[in-house]
Amino acid sequence: MKRKWFTILILGTCLLLNTACSDQFLEEKRDYSVFGPEDIFKDPNQANAVFGSIYKKILGKYNSPLCGSDILMRQDQDNMGGANYMLTEELASGYPIGMTGNNKYKGVHHKTTKAGNHLGNPHYWNYGKNSTGNYNNFSKDVLFPSIYLINCFIDEIERYRTQYLDDTFWDRLKGQAIFARAWLYLDAVRLFGGVPYYSTSLEDTPSVDDRSPRMPIDSCIEKICADFQQAASLLPPKWDSENMGRFTSVAALAMISRVRLYAASPVFNASWDNPQSRRWKAALDAGLAAEQAANEAGYGTSVNDINAWDQMFYAYAAGSFNPEAIIMIPKNSNTMYDATYSNKWEKYIRPQAITSASGSGFPAPKQMIDLFPMKDGTRPVAGQNYDPLKFYRDRDPRFYRTFAFSGCEWPGTTKQLWLYVYKYGNEYRYTDGTPGDAGAQKKSKAIVWKMSDPTVAVGSEDYAGTDILEYRYAELLLNIAECYAATGNSGKCIEYLSRIRQRVGINSANNYGIGNPSNKYALIEACLYERRVELAYEGKRSWDMRRWLLYEGGAGFDPVLAGVDGKNYYNPENAWGLGWKLYDGQAGRANYSKTNNILTMLGLNRFSGTKHVGEIWGYDLSTPQPTESDPLQNNAAKLAVPHIKKNMTDAERNAAFDKLEAFYTSNSLVTQNAINAMGPKYGMDSGTSDSDKNWLFSWRGWYYVYPLHYDLYDASKGNTWLEQTVGWMVANANDGEQDGTYVYCTAE
């Protein structure tokens, strides 16, 4: 069993549903179909099991770094208007398997938007369609029913703890429950803005006919941080081997750092550009406090070279302490249990040529391939220190642990991967093992293999027991670096960024390649850049893009106002700076424009109005091959390429690259844009219809924080006293007056 405590909790929860065992059950006048609170809370094992049901409820389906859980909706495939990881530069539409591009975000300029109807269930804090009179009913598996369950659990602990006299046990169980409550509220606030906050204190307990208003963001943040602080006071910094993976005091303090950082960022903080901002100061203090606690407990000690960096994701056995894992989601490989307790990452990332099962992995867009630093830490600049045709040469050590490409041997197997396209008849084929013409669509010259676990056998990808590192020590260092950047402390910012790079073996010259950013904005951009590299594909990027308004910089972006000749697409440059915008010059917010906004300050390009680019290796694409199989499968130059492994030395890797390039050049393989080489349907964000050919990502300003669902907000539901989120419309239209009075971005 991969995780003993987690398995016991789940089994214990199931036991609660069964008939109790008793030799005298016929004489006892009692219903044994269920246990009552007095049965549960006089037995620590049963109380533990009940918390297991809560844990399962909020984290049970968190089955990979990019596929979230039921209630904690961080990167869920079915929430947030589609797969949220597709809303970044990391992955294109169509991935993982079975996902398709979400037309709510396509560059179709006439797409209508009704307040909230782009957001899949669950809606807001309750299921709107059943909330005909009171939005606070507890009938559905969403935020407040879960909060209610947790609060009842905490109350029962206090009521029955005297029946089993072990204050340490009860305090730790209570601390885990409070931690879970704060985490739920954090994700709710990040997605929806202020919500009513119900804790177990008397002033927070709602009545049956409660009409609690939406709290200001600042108030929610303080409540969340107070919960995490209380959890920290009750929890140990580490657990023993039987309980590894439970929430800890270090994790609680680290979560305060995450909360404070989000609250200080532009999405919530109209004073973000003030180096004296009290929110940035609070975020810095929280980060430093968490770092001190982590260091004292022995966290952050394991990663001292690139191999240790790679192995932190999989090399720690059940019950052993992983110093990089501040929050770890335990997973179980035992197939007798529900598959939702397994980690599905290997299923998603392994291509068919490796697994002999359906799948093509995660092809990496050109934006990600070109992103990673060079070996010396400097950024790649085509024509200067970087050749995009030889993209694998002299890169940051993390590049070789994040991406696989032609010639690479998949970890834990002896299979060599090849990624190139050839023509067969009027169609194209791809060498990653996916069959037919569809197999050549949305492909890349590299795929993701970060966090690949070599101990997961081929055929066992559905039931991997690899634990998920939800919060790493590196994220804490990056949080602190960003706070120093925002407050203008360049020396300390560079110090913390350097620590990230020192851990992976980048040479120390010129501040580990970071250089000397010239001002506060350049420092912030350097921090966001390092997060893109260090935390790539770990489910963190979309949150960074939200909190820094990186889709359009706060200047507004509205395709409706920039349509092209009445067709279903738009001019993105014209759309930028139009429509509703969060930074509108009101209530202490700056008045950003197309030429002056967060993106222009940081020197970044907008994401809205762009698409993911797929570059491929192509073999003689103008000439159909006589057979459907790979025409180069027995090519001598190809067979001469050594298997390129993750842990090669630089000399071994470069020798293999020489052979790879000999194969490439001797067979006239060409690096090409997939759309240009084969047509629009082969592009990462493209297709054959007119609108799909012109597919452009079109995130708009009002998407940063979602609204009350229209079924809940509608006057006929009796909830007219609720404040709608600012920027959202009640009419089924894209233009005209914006509706909503609840403001989430406030000045200090």
| DSSP, residue by residue, 533-594 | HHTTTTT-HHHHHHHTTTTTTTS-B-GGGGBSTTSS-B-HHHHBT-S--S-BS-TT--B--S
Q: 641 and 407 in contact (C-beta within 8 Å)?
A: yes
Domain check: are 227 and 369 in the same one? Answer: no
- Domain assignment present for residue 235? The answer is yes
Phi and psi for 616 in degrees, rounded to 5? -130, 160
**Whole-number pLDDT of residue 727:** 83
**Which among 253, 229, 269, 283 has a CA at the least distance from the CA of 480?**
283
728 bridge partner residues: 739
- Domain assignment present for residue 89? The answer is no
In the numeric block, which tokens belong to residue 403? 């991406």
Phi and psi for 103 in degrees, rounded to 5? -70, -10
Q: Which helix (H) or strand (E) holds 37?
A: helix 37-40
Determine the Cα–Cα distance for residues 271 and 268; give it in Å rounded to an integer: 9
What is the SS3 assignment for 150? helix
- Domain assignment present for residue 264? The answer is yes
Domain check: are 323 and 361 in the same one? Answer: no
Determine the Cα–Cα distance for residues 268 and 444; give it in Å rounded to an integer: 37
Determine the Cα–Cα distance for residues 218 and 278; give it in Å rounded to an integer: 12
Domain check: are 441 and 403 in the same one? Answer: yes
Write down which residue in 682, 706, 725 finishes a domain.
682
Q: 323 and 299 in contact (C-beta within 8 Å)?
A: yes
Determine the Cα–Cα distance for residues 361 and 598; give it in Å rounded to an integer: 34
CA distances from 404 to 392, 450, 466 (A): 10, 9, 20
- Domain assignment present for residue 526? The answer is no
**Whole-number pLDDT of residue 318:** 83
Determine the Cα–Cα distance for residues 711 and 717; give it in Å rounded to an integer: 8
570 bridge partner residues: 563
Q: 490 and 382 in contact (C-beta within 8 Å)?
A: no
Write down which residue in 312, 339, 366 finishes a domain.
339
- Domain assignment present for residue 716? The answer is no
pTM score, two decimals? 0.92
Domain check: are 429 and 306 in the same one? Answer: no
Longest dimension (CA), the chain: 87
Domain check: are 136 and 165 in the same one? Answer: yes
Write down which residue in 282, 312, 339 finishes a domain.
339
Structural domain of residue 673, as residue ranges?
351-451+615-682
Domain count of the fold of the chain: 2
In the numeric block, which tokens belong to residue 434? 């996916």
Q: 362 and 348 in contact (C-beta within 8 Å)?
A: yes
- Domain assignment present for residue 703? The answer is no
Q: 216 and 234 in contact (C-beta within 8 Å)?
A: no
Domain check: are 209 and 166 in the same one? Answer: yes
b/e burial code for range 176-194 (CB count within 10 A of at least 16 → b): bbbbbbbbbbbbbbbbbbb
- Domain assignment present for residue 693? The answer is no
Determine the Cα–Cα distance for residues 473 and 251; give it in Å rounded to an integer: 10
Which residues, 6 or more positions from 29, have their beta carbon under 8 angstroms from its beta carbon?
A: none
In the numeric block, which tokens belong to residue 235? 């929890």
Which residues, 6 or more positions from 742, have their beta carbon under 8 angstroms from its beta carbon?
A: 193, 194, 214, 723, 724, 725, 726
Domain check: are 174 and 306 in the same one? Answer: yes
Domain check: are 274 and 178 in the same one? Answer: yes
Determine the Cα–Cα distance for residues 700 and 575; give it in Å rounded to an integer: 10
- Domain assignment present for residue 69? The answer is yes
In the numeric block, which tokens belong to residue 553? 């910089």
Look up residue 416 and give its amino acid. Answer: Q
Half-sphere exposure of 314 (CA within 13 A, CB side): 20
Q: Which helix (H) or strand (E) holds 176?
A: helix 167-192
Q: 576 and 609 in contact (C-beta within 8 Å)?
A: yes
Domain check: are 405 and 330 in the same one? Answer: no
Q: Give the CATH number, domain containing residue 157.
A: 1.25.40
Residue 299 neighbours by CB distance under 10 Å: 26
404 bridge partner residues: 447
Domain check: are 265 and 379 in the same one? Answer: no
Domain check: are 308 and 427 in the same one? Answer: no
Domain check: are 414 and 313 in the same one? Answer: no
pLDDT averaged over consecutive 10-residue blocks of the chain (748 residues)?
A: 46 36 34 62 84 78 62 40 65 50 57 42 45 44 75 90 88 96 91 87 67 88 98 97 94 98 98 98 98 98 97 92 95 70 88 86 96 98 97 98 98 97 96 93 96 94 90 98 97 98 96 95 98 94 94 92 80 92 96 98 95 96 94 98 96 98 97 96 88 82 78 63 76 54 94
Residue spans of alpha helices (H) in 207-248 = 217-234
